[in-house]
Chains A and B, each alone.
Chain A
């Protein structure tokens, strides 16, 4: 759950970027880190793997500013997408307030996208969280590949696979160039802060 410091009037919300391996979760965070002003974001914490895959998690803190007197801080996390790191994913999900599910549009990854969402549902349950209640946004990444001969999934197919039950907002994105990155972030931020406010602040104040 969100960390709320009433004495300092600070609210820390945790947003986790989830998805199958190599879908572009870390790329999203790297782009956000690179694009944003220093005053709006903190240092990005990542693990130097000498490669390009996440072993543990990445963390990027953002400062949304003051809302109704509260300083709103958003902490963006990624999880390792590889199947073998399920325990780490479960650990990172602990206390999360919002989710971005990054999907890979490659046809060969269709199954892994679905498995990844199921994996998310399972790991949330382990942490006593319900996917249907959580703020979640879907991001269909790597849309630039649609213009190449690479077989990709159409939006309809992705929607059918991933969003038929969730029925949530989705964004097309190309994280390497930043397209759709901040749209996704903006939407999940709003949803998450609303969720946290409704769940914790409003009830406690009322």
Chain B
């Protein structure tokens, strides 16, 4: 880098070799006298210029891009719409409709005001400021007055909504939706087309208007519009709310909107937003969402077609059902088809009940909600059924795989239930562990202690023979209703259970789970609770022992920043050590009762570090998870071996309360074939 000339020469060559190949043929580029213009030299166009799909309006210009072999000196002039229009449109051809015929319904000065409005809207497109917007509103009001539009007419509605949009923009120009000027221009063009009657049919004109209207409404920020920005320039009737229903709604996304999106679509496709910059832009939410009317219309269409299909299916099934009914050997088929008919009929009823027969008052979204709710009921039923199977599998040795499989299915179904619950406006069930630690409520009030005989510990679980009988029934059902591998599985279940039943008939031990429960129960036979006080728990390993943790007491959980050794000689843990940065807000780290303490109290607070009981095998884990339990003004820090996992407590789970009230172990729970101590500090 010592030879300056060489360096500059290298720069020159590098830039030329890189960029020259992309230069588009040009003939009239000039430059200042002082500097030679690279473009003045013959341009080598190695490749045809790319077709820039910047905007719909610009496509013609792209097409005229000179090819390398046949260069053109000048590109074709773009449509006026593509480029900012002249300041005095009167002298220009109207961009959207160069062949507009003077319409009889336009007053003499109407065309003049149209041109003036177009000019103003273009000015707004250049610069969104209050002066331009105010001028636009003035001209718009003149236009409305000149034509005598009222809200009952589609054109009047669009004009009134344009004014509302302008009013919103005037109030807060810096927060105006970026596409507002374009949408205003499109609305203007729609009005113009409609008024001049240049469209071939009235229907298409209505569609253009309704599209423009829905797009304008999508721009309106509800907060701003509801605030009632004074619309002084409009007559009262135009200020009134404009019913959308009176004109046809758009069936699909307006084409101009798609075109505008295309201008930025290409970079988006390359996931250029990964840096999160998208979030840094405060774009009005309204603009991001498509007009709801379009979604509703699409839903209506789908549901209508579905309803038609159901009708056809019912017509087809009906004769088959009659045939099956007349044949005794087809009783099973008859039953199946009857069920199908009933199911389809109920679906049809649901649809029919939601919208009238002519679909005119069809509430697409309402129907969707109803359907989702019905799906919810079906799913909940499935969850209930599979839960029972899961419990049975859990308590039966040799069915671990089936237990895992059914658990996975149940969890998937529960997730689906939650998703649908949220979709229909409900709140998800509490079976999931909230990672934020914000538990909706203490899970269950303590169930009154029920004094029962020790034998109840075993009898709380259904009789093993009965369970096995149920399993056999289930296995049979699987065999009957499934094929291929599930059928084989069912057959194996059946055989195994039959063997098990035979073995059990004279055995003293009923099942492994029951045996474990009985063994635990023997130690505390005097008094115990057969019903666990928690519906769900947090499962983890503490000191190498599987334990459950009372979820309502957990106020903090995280992977510890310190290794297990760091806590070896510590008795208390200062909460301020949880600060990752000096400015970390301690309050924000906790949930539940601890979150109610102020920062200084938390900084000064030290909690006892709980040690696992000596009976626990001990853990060799170097990295630990920290779980803090806090209840009624006191708490403890638990260094557990793994992150907690939520588990639901089955009704049949065996609960044996702890013998020592001073101990952290509230009791022992036997669930899904595992026995675990439950940690609780209250």
Contact = CB atoms under 8 A, between A and B. Distances in A.
Interface of A: 20-22, 27, 30-36, 40, 43-53, 55-56, 62, 64-70, 72, 82-84, 104, 106-109, 112, 142-145, 147-151, 155, 163, 167-172, 174, 176-183, 185-187, 189-190, 193-194, 197-198, 201-202, 205-206
A89 to B, nearest CB: 14
Contacts of A83: 127, 129
B173 interface: yes
B92 A31 contact: no
B32 interface: yes
B30 A51 contact: no
Contacts of B26: 172, 179-180, 183
A190 B15 contact: yes
A51 B177 contact: yes
Interface in B225-279: 257, 260-261, 263-264, 266-268, 270-273, 275, 277-278
Contacts of B91: 149
A169 B31 contact: yes
Given A46-B272, A183-B29, A84 B129 contact: yes
Contacts of A27: 52, 54
A43 B271 contact: yes
Interface residues of B, number: 92
Contacts of B105: none
Most central of A50, A163, A170 by chain B CB within 10 Å: A50
A46 B263 CA distance: 11
Given A106-B87, A178-B22, 18 more contacts: A40-B18, A47-B278, A47-B281, A53-B178, A55-B283, A65-B18, A67-B10, A68-B10, A149-B91, A150-B83, A170-B32, A176-B78, A177-B24, A178-B50, A180-B39, A190-B11, A197-B11, A205-B2
Given A30-B263, A35-B50, A68-B7, A22 B126 contact: yes
Contacts of A197: 1, 7-8, 11
A33 B266 contact: yes
A182 B178 contact: no
A144 B78 contact: yes
A72 B13 CA distance: 13
Nearest to A145: B83
B281 A52 contact: no
Contact of B74 (A31, A33, A112, A144): A144
Main secondary structure of the interface of A (DSSP, over half): mixed
B11 A67 contact: yes
Contacts of B37: 169, 171, 183, 187
Given A112-B127, A169-B37, A182 B24 contact: yes
Given A106-B86, A150-B86, A177 B65 contact: yes
Contacts of A193: 11, 15
B178 A49 contact: yes
A64 B11 CA distance: 9
B15 A186 contact: yes
A31 B50 contact: yes
Contacts of A109: 84, 126
Interface stretch (B56-64, B133-141, B402-410, B585-593): B56-64
A49 B179 contact: yes
A153 B37 CA distance: 21
B613 interface: no
21 contacts: A30-B266, A43-B267, A46-B264, A47-B281, A48-B261, A50-B260, A51-B260, A52-B178, A70-B1, A108-B123, A150-B83, A150-B86, A168-B32, A171-B39, A178-B49, A178-B65, A183-B29, A183-B39, A186-B19, A197-B11, A202-B4
B381 interface: no
Most central of A33, A44, A177 by chain B CB within 10 Å: A177
Nearest to A144: B75
A183 B77 contact: no
A48 B264 contact: yes
Contacts of B55: 52
Nearest to B74: A147
Contact of B272 (A43, A56, A183, A206): A43
B14 A64 contact: yes
Contacts, number: 261
Contacts of A82: 127-128
B280 interface: yes
B125 interface: yes
Contacts of A170: 30-32
Contact of B22 (A148, A182, A190): A182
A147 B83 contact: no
A45 B23 CA distance: 23
Given A45-B277, A202-B7, A50 B15 contact: no
Contacts of A53: 178
Contacts of A44: 266-267, 270, 272
A49 to B, nearest CB: 4
Given A27-B54, A171-B37, A172-B30, A144 B61 contact: yes
Interface string B79-98: 01011111110011100000
Given A44-B270, A171-B37, A177-B64, A56 B22 contact: no
Contacts of B80: 148, 150
Interchain residue pairs A-B with the least CB separation, the first 9: A51-B178, A51-B179, A183-B39, A178-B24, A186-B19, A108-B87, A49-B178, A34-B50, A44-B267
B375 interface: no
Interface string B142-174: 000000000000000000000000000000011
Given A22-B125, A179-B24, A50 B283 contact: yes
Nearest to B265: A48
Interface in B20-41: 20, 22-26, 28-32, 34-35, 37-39
A189 to B, nearest CB: 5
